[in-house]
């Protein structure tokens, strides 16, 4: 077999992915920042930074879909005699003697060597700081004295990333900067309503600077050959309008063997309205000076970096597995958890496929993401749930998205996606099981952020369930609305106008019969969770604790509520069995007219994955063999070499009644792509059914470390994280990945492996042990911190795929499979 080219490899000890060739098949990126200040950084140091919101508070400029790809970023130009090069190879692309990019946990280190000089840059955002540190170390590895000219480069975005890219009649006149010592300040629009500015600083004296892009680059030059750098002579330009940038010029002399550190700092500052200026037209720099003072030496920066590493140690120590299989361990212990935190921070807003201007935080997306990080940062998960619920409407419907800066629902997209409400139960239940914190249900949460409209969070959950019940169609199945989880199944849209959005156009909803089996399954799963939650609260109210403050919850009859919802769940199960079964699999939907979608009777797209996933997870009709048949059909019709496709066969033509799904060419995205997000649903279905071999083989197909080698070139996108979509079997090039990083796949892969395959499930009273494994699995150990306890759990599968025979806690056999929670350290032995 032909040897595949390799662009990098895992370094598990350092928790890094090491890229050894800058010309990866696509930019392979990483994320910096954990709270307010964020950056995207590619393996050649491309990318950009923003504060909280990639649309409204963009700090540096980035041009998507550029030629060449990924041009623009934080660049260091080193001029050594006549040779100009960059540590990350781009933009000059001068051949390097050595190149390496190490993407780690919230940091990236890019190292280049050329003609006896090594330049290594460590990029990270210190915890709790509004700044990106770029620590550049220059080292002379030659035998001669080196006289180097160093130029830094950042290009400012005029804050609103959307208008920055289009409103040039204004933008070219508004840009403003100030220069003070070694700091360049960007203050566009500060004179009027903005109370924030940015700065770019270096902790050494500079011998010159530039702040005007055309002066620095030259109108007929490029980032690859900026005229100032090529000539080795800064112009000390002061930008007025046009495109402000920040470039420092530093002359560096290095003796043989000598090395020097330079700390560059890209910072963001907000001032109080009455303290904006220190003199007319002069920005108040006090806070900038203070921030710089915190990070102006190598020692201070190294300390901040050590703190960041400790932060990640702590996060990744909460769930740790040792199976002896490196490929599995590295995904579970490092990369899958890391990707989950990235989706927590960014939702679907900013990646190299999401421009940061389109979508904020998704209602359904963020609730699903929550299961990926709730064990690591429960207090922030709590806040997230409340933020999400605050965008709900009084009838249980909700805004589909909200902006992270304002936390307000996004009116451009609105609501009407009928799966959305159910996800709130999914997220909240995961939070309570992890933390045991029932008091969240007692939080007063508004509707649509309107002060005065607050009700308890529990009430939000209740109306969420009711929203489904009140919107049933002719088969007593849930009406789909604009779409369910599949944004592209637009059964009430009927659009012939290419300028209409499939998501927000609803031309024909009056009298619709369009129903969703995906929501039906989701309703049964979350409905059972809701019933269990009500029963648990009732138990706690009568027994151990009664910590609800609000009078509505104090007097609420939770057992009656559980009964009411159980009836609705049972009715839904009956409806699915009666109207949702096609003989070999579950139907996908009924269209506007009440015709079947995802049926053997259909010409194309006879079977869809979403309803197989949700209805098998819900175990609907298991006793009649439906679950097993459905899972078998997934293997037979959906599975291919790279995973399971969304539907089969793919649509070959646009179907006006179905909407966007049929707009995609065969094998891509929602039209028969391998939409990785929903593969875990079927895998969990397999686990619940006890079919460990099948679950594992589906799982390994989309586990990045398992396909790393094969995917170095075919897959194209980063081999250390999941992507949203891999081209399906009907595509022109099956196996090609797209839309990496920001996908619900991260959380679902985590949920699947941590709870259903390895079988460590947080529950109200403790940890439930219920693995589902391939028969080849050997013994393994999971170290799990849980509330104030720490468990070391060793599982002996003994060739069994499912079924726990005995659980021994601290040497004592226990009844059942739930390890009762108690603080402190415990050892658990599990025999299957
Ligand atoms: C995208 C969206 C998600 C949706 C999915 C399927 O990933 O972020 O909300 O469920 O596509 O259409
Ligand atoms: C498109 C994409 C889908 C995404 C939606 C919302 O329809 O195919 O994946 O969820 O846009 O932005």
Tens of pLDDT along 567-614?
999 999 999 999 999 999 999 999 999 999 999 999 999 999 999 999
**Residue 44 DSSP SS3:** coil
Whether the CB of 487 sits within 6 Å of ligand 1? yes
**Taking 50 as the threshold, does the pLDDT of residue 544 lie above it?**
yes
Q: Tell me the C-alpha to C-alpha distance, in Å, between residue 169 and each of 93, 163, 165, 239, 241.
A: 34, 11, 11, 17, 11
pLDDT at residue 422 in the model: 98
Tokens 């194209």: give the residue: 716
Whether the CB of 670 sits within 6 Å of ligand 1? yes
Whether the CB of 178 sits within 6 Å of ligand 1? no
Whether the CB of 348 sits within 6 Å of ligand 1? yes
Q: What is the pLDDT of residues 265-314, one digit of tens each?
A: 999 999 999 999 999 999 999 999 999 999 999 999 999 999 999 999 99
Name the closest ligand to CA 646: 1
Q: Whose CA is nearest to atom 6 of ligand 2?
A: 487
Percent of the chain past pLDDT 70, that is, above it, reads 99
- Confidence tier at 708 by pLDDT (50, 70, 90): confident
For residue 50, the CA-to-ligand 1 centroid distance in Å is 24
Q: Average of pLDDT values for 541-566?
A: 83
For residue 362, give the ligand 1 atom closest to its CA: 9
For residue 365, the CA-to-ligand 1 centroid distance in Å is 7
Whether the CB of 176 sits within 6 Å of ligand 2? no
Q: What is the pLDDT of residues 499-524, one digit of tens each?
A: 999 999 988 988 999 999 999 999 99
Name the closest ligand to CA 359: 2
Contacts of 494 (CB under 8 A, 6+ apart): 507, 508, 592, 656, 657, 659
**Taking 70 as the threshold, does the pLDDT of residue 778 lie above it?**
yes
Identify the sign of the CA torsion 306, 309, 315, 319: negative
For residue 630, the CA-to-ligand 2 centroid distance in Å is 26
For residue 353, the CA-to-ligand 1 centroid distance in Å is 13
Residues assigned a catalytic role: 487
For residue 488, give the ligand 1 atom closest to its CA: 12
Q: Whose CA is nearest to atom 10 of ligand 2?
A: 487
Instruction: Say how far apart CA 485 and CA 613 lie, in whole Å.
Output: 12
More confident residue, 543 or 619: 619
Whether the CB of 670 sits within 6 Å of ligand 2? yes
438 φ, ψ to 5°?
A: -75, -15
For residue 743, give the ligand 1 atom closest to its CA: 7
pLDDT at residue 1 in the model: 43
> What DSSP string describes 240-286?
BSS-EEEEEEEEEEE-TT-EEEEEEEEEEEE--GGGSEEETTEE--H
Report the mean per-residue pLDDT for the chain: 96
Whether the CB of 400 sits within 6 Å of ligand 1? no
For residue 544, the CA-to-ligand 1 centroid distance in Å is 41
For residue 362, the CA-to-ligand 1 centroid distance in Å is 9
Q: Whose CA is nearest to atom 10 of ligand 1?
A: 485
For residue 487, the CA-to-ligand 2 centroid distance in Å is 6
Q: What is the pLDDT of residues 76-113, one digit of tens each?
A: 999 999 999 999 999 999 999 999 999 999 999 999 99
Q: Average of pLDDT values for 119-124?
A: 98
Ligand 2 pocket test target in 415, 659, 670, 676 with most atoms within 8 Å of CB = 670
- Confidence tier at 365 by pLDDT (50, 70, 90): very high
Q: Whose CA is nearest to atom 4 of ligand 2?
A: 487
- 645-649, 711-715, 759-763: which has the minimum mean pLDDT? 711-715
Instruction: Say how far apart CA 586 and CA 604 lie, in whole Å.
Output: 15
Residues 326, 696 contacting (CB under 8 angstroms): no
Contacts of 371 (CB under 8 A, 6+ apart): 426, 427, 430, 747, 748, 750, 751
Instruction: Say how far apart CA 568 and CA 614 lie, in whole Å.
Output: 17
pLDDT at residue 506 in the model: 87
Whether the CB of 484 sits within 6 Å of ligand 2? no
Other beta carbons within 10 angstroms of residue 709's beta carbon come to: 12
Structure tokens at 433: 């099981």
- Confidence tier at 393 by pLDDT (50, 70, 90): very high
Whether the CB of 677 sits within 6 Å of ligand 2? no
Whether the CB of 354 sits within 6 Å of ligand 2? no
């Amino acid at each position: 077999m032909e040897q595949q080219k390799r662009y990098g490899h895992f370094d598990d000890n350092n928790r890094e992915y090491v890229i050894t060739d800058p010309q990866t098949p696509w930019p392979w990126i990483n994320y910096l920042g954990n709270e307010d200040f964020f950056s995207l950084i590619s393996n050649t140091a491309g990318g950009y930074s923003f504060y909280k919101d990639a649309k409204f508070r963009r700090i540096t400029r980035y041009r998507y879909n550029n030629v060449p790809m990924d041009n623009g970023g934080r660049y260091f130009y080193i001029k050594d005699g006549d040779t100009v090069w960059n540590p990350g190879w781009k933009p000059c692309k001068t051949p390097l003697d050595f190149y390496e990019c190490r993407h780690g946990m919230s940091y990236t280190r890019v190292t280049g060597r050329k003609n006896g000089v090594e330049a290594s840059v460590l990029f990270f955002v210190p915890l709790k700081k509004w700044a990106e540190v770029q620590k550049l170390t220059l080292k002379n590895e030659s035998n001669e004295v080196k006289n180097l000219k160093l130029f830094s480069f950042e290009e400012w975005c005029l804050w609103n990333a959307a208008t920055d890219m289009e409103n040039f009649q204004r933008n070219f006149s508004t840009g403003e900067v100030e220069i003070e010592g070694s700091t360049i300040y960007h203050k566009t629009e500060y004179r009027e309503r903005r109370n924030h500015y940015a700065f770019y600083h270096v902790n050494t004296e500079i011998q010159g600077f530039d702040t005007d892009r055309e002066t620095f680059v030259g109108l007929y030059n490029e980032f690859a050959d900026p005229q100032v750098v090529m000539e080795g002579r800064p112009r000390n330009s002061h930008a007025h309008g046009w495109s402000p940038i920040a470039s420092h010029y530093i002359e560096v002399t290095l003796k043989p063997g000598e090395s020097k550190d330079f700390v560059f700092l890209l910072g963001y500052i907000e001032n109080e309205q009455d303290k904006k200026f220190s003199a007319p037209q002069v920005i108040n720099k006090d806070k900038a000076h203070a921030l710089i003072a915190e990070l102006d030496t190598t020692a201070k920066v190294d300390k901040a970096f050590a703190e960041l590493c400790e932060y990640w140690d702590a996060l990744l120590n909460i769930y740790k597995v040792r199976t002896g299989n490196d490929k599995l361990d590295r995904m579970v212990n490092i990369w899958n958890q890391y990707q989950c935190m990235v989706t927590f921070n960014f939702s679907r807003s900013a990646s190299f496929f999401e421009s940061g201007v389109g979508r904020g935080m998704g209602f359904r997306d963020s609730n699903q993401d929550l299961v990926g990080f709730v064990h690591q940062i429960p207090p922030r998960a709590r806040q997230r749930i409340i933020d999400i619920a605050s965008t709900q409407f009084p009838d249980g419907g909700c805004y589909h998205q909200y902006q992270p800066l304002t936390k307000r629902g996004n009116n451009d997209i609105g609501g009407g996606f009928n799966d959305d409400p159910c996800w709130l139960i999914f997220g909240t239940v995961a939070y309570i099981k992890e933390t045991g914190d029932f008091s969240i249900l007692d939080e007063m949460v508004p509707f649509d952020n309107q002060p005065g409209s607050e009700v308890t969070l529990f009430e939000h959950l209740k109306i969420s369930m009711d929203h489904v019940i009140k919107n049933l169609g002719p088969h007593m199945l849930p009406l789909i609305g604009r779409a369910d989880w599949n944004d592209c199944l637009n059964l009430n849209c009927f659009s012939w106008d290419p300028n209409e959005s499939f998501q927000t156009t609803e031309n024909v909803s009056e009298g619709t019969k369009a129903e969703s089996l995906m929501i039906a399954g989701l309703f049964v799963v979350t409905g059972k969770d809701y019933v269990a939650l009500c029963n648990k609260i009732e138990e706690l109210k009568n027994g151990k604790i009664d910590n609800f403050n609000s009078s509505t919850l104090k007097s609420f009859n939770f057992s009656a509520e559980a009964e009411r919802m159980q009836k609705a769940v049972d009715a839904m199960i009956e409806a699915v069995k009666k109207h949702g079964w096609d003989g070999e699999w579950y139907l996908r939907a009924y269209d506007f007219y009440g015709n079947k979608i995802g049926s053997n009777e259909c010409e194309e797209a006879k079977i869809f994955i979403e309803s197989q996933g949700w209805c098998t997870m819900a175990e609907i009709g298991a006793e009649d063999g439906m679950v097993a048949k459905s899972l078998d059909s997934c293997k037979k019709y959906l599975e291919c070499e790279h995973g399971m496709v969304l539907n089969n066969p793919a649509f070959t033509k646009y179907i006006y009644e179905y909407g966007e799904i049929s707009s995609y060419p065969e094998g891509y995205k929602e039209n028969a792509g391998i939409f990785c997000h929903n593969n875990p649903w079927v895998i969990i279905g397999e686990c619940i059914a006890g079919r460990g071999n099948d679950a594992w083989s589906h799982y390994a197909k989309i586990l990045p470390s398992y396909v790393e080698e094969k995917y170095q070139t075919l897959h194209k996108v980063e081999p250390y994280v999941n992507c949203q979509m891999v081209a399906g079997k009907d595509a022109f090039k099956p196996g090609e990945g797209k839309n990496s990083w920001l996908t619900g796949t991260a959380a679902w892969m985590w949920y699947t492996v941590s709870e259903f395959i390895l079988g460590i499930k947080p529950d109200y009273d403790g940890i439930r042990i219920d693995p589902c494994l391939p028969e080849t699995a050997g013994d393994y150990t999971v170290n799990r911190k849980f509330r104030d306890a720490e468990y070391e759990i060793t599982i002996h599968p003994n060739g069994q795929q499912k079924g726990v025979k005995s659980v021994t806690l601290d040497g004592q056999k226990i009844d059942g499979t739930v390890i009762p929670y108690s603080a402190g350290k415990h050892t658990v032995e599990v025999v299957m």
